Amino acid sequence: MVAKKVVIKNRAGIHCRPSSAIMAEVDKFPDVSFELRAESGTASMHSILELLALGLQQGDEATLQATGKNEAEAIEIIAAAFEREYDFPPQN
């Protein structure tokens, strides 16, 4: 098992569009189990509803955990997906 702290950077937090993009990345690693622990709770990263239920906002911190084959590579990719800005058009 590996763990990594992530900070939500998307201006509107993790809503439908970012959660969909994150889940698409998670699906690329079928042999890895992901879990996200935040102040608001814990979510299996294999359930978009659990992720949305955390209500993550910009600036929130969470710990991403990965267990399985290629977990080190997988956690870096999924962590980057959490720290990406998704809203379009970008606002200054």
15 flagged as catalytic: yes
Catalytic pick among 4, 15, 37, 46: 15
Tokens of 57: 């906002």
Which amino acids are annotated catalytic? 15
